[in-house]
Amino acid sequence: MIIFPSKSVLQKLSVIVKRRREDIHMSQTELAKGICTQATISTLENKGCFKSWESVPQIFERLNLDINDLENEFNYQYGDHKLKQIEKNLLIHNFSKAQKRLNQIKYENLDTKNLLARYECNSGFVDLLICL
């Protein structure tokens, strides 16, 4: 589990919780019942100061979410962000910078077919265009 009280974790956590709660038509009060206060859920969803880290597993359980969903969200964002940078470099014909960024990506952190396909495609383009 990667629950640490950092700003980026809090932002991802707030998005995941709010999205799922709204998807299943659950109120903040229903989610909070027996775990924390409605105000705590509101603070969490609005990216405020959240200090009830011990209640996160209970919140995820009530929402039928796996705590690993938060980790997956981070890996996706990591890969998506890095690949967008590479794609921008390719678009502006900065192939050496794209190659350098490709070499910095941790392939094992790309955990979706979409990210892996984008990585492989960008890698092929870089190899082809560097040779030109």
Q: What is the per-residue pLDDT across 85-100, written as a single tens digit (0 to 9) for each?
A: 999 999 999 999 999 9
pLDDT at 31: 96
DSSP secondary-structure letter at 36?
S
Long-range contacts of 60-64 (CB under 8 A, 24+ apart): 62/31, 62/35, 63/17, 63/20, 63/21, 63/24, 63/26, 63/31, 64/20, 64/24
Predicted TM-score (pTM) of the model is 0.52
